[in-house]
Structure 1
Amino acid sequence: MADRMFNVLFLCTGNSARSILAESILARDGQGRFRSFSAGSHPKGIVHPLALKTLEHFGYQHEGFRSKPWDEFAVPGAPVMDFVFTVCDNAAGEACPVWPGQPMTAHWGIEDPAAVEGSELEREAAFAAAFRYMKNRISTFAALPIRKLDSVALGSRLKEIGQLEGTSSPRPNVA
């Protein structure tokens, strides 16, 4: 019998860049173990074109994403999340909805590549860096023996992942 898949929600304020990158990365790298979703507290309504270009460049799914509110995942009938990760500092400081199922949470902040100003090359480099930092976190997460760790040990590991290279702040709080 196959193990149950874990549902993972990545949250950001605008749901246009970092959370979209994370959703796509986990969808491929965690295939068969995880179902990934993303949302925002104040979604921009569009996915940043450089996020999609970055995903395509690295060979990841880059179509079909949409910027959506996190409320979609806090209503009856929504997928019950096992994990909720904030990937921007603003979302980490906001009051999140009460998630059905009481998922494990952690803050995995990465600087916003969409906020980088400069040449097209500089902006693309910021998205590539955000992709690499997120992929590193997700690879570490996907390698965890989740079913073998108790909740305290798992929570500790999730917080450690948020402090890997590329963290936007040493914020100890979680979503």
Structure 2
Amino acid sequence: MKFKIAFVCVHNSCRSQMAEGIAKKLGSDIFEAYSAGTEKYHEVKPLAVEVMKEIDVDMTNYKPKLLTEIPNELDLLITMGCNVVCPFVPNKYAADWGLDDPSGGPIEDFRKTRNLIEEKMKELINQIKSGKIKL
């Protein structure tokens, strides 16, 4: 059985998209991964797509999605650090990763965010597999 995990932020154009891609790469054996935002946005940030290619994650066909476009019940809900009231979706486990949005910054900011997401994803996977997080 795979756990439904969603990564949520405001625009679903950068951090949450990268988290979805990394979850699919590192946790494909345990996750059914989604991402969504609370507001409409027109594209995934090109620098996010570029830095993900550097770790062999192809996000060229990723599109921003709203919460209404993902399952309405999840096993895990991870918010990225909304700086506003983060949305609620019914879940068994929730966490806020508190990541700064690199949008508008240089490519190095996107790489830093990607690397933080990758570290947090590895930790989350280890916690689930070791039973520290019960779902």
**Pair 1:72–1:147, CA change in 2 (3 A):** farther
Are 2:95 and 1:103 aligned?
Answer: no
SS of the counterpart of 1:105? strand
Count residues in correspondence.
135
Q: Percent identity?
A: 24
CA displacement at 1:105 relative to structure 2: 0.8
**Shift of the alpha carbon at 1:31?**
1.4
1:33 to 2:26 alignment: no
Q: Gapped runs of 5+ residues in structure 2? A: none
In the alignment, which residue of structure 1 is the partner of 2:56? 59
Counterpart mapping for 1:62-81 below 5 A: 62-73=59-70, 78=71, 80-81=73-74
Offset of 1:63 from its aligned partner?
2.7
> 1:112-123 alignment to 2 at 5 Å?
112-116=101-105, 123=106
CA RMSD of aligned residues (A): 2.0
Instruction: For 1:86, give the aligned amino acid.
Output: T
Unmatched segments (≥5 aa) in structure 1:
117-122, 155-175
Conserved? CA contact 2:73–2:89, under 8 Å: no
**How far is the alpha carbon of 1:147 from its aligned partner?**
7.3
Report Cα offsets for 1:77-126 as digits up to 9, x if no partner.
Answer: x36410001002335x24x2443xx331110011111042xxxxxx1100
Higher CA-based Rg: 1
Give the one of 76, 91, 98 matched to 1:83: 76
Larger relative contact order (CA 8 Å, sep ≥ 6): 2
TM-score, structure 1 normalization: 0.70
Q: Which amino acid aligns with 1:110?
A: L
Q: Deviations over 1:129-165 (max 9, x none)?
A: 00000000000001124573465xx8xxxxxxxxxxx
SS at 2:107's partner residue?
helix
Distance 1:79 1:31, change over 3 A: farther
CA contact (8 A) 1:45 1:68 kept: no
Q: Is the contact made by 2:79 and 2:95 (CA closer than 8 Å) also made in structure 1?
A: yes
The structure-2 alpha-carbon separation of the partners of 1:150 and 1:49, relative to structure 1 and needing over 3 Å to count, comes to closer
Aligned to 1:169: none
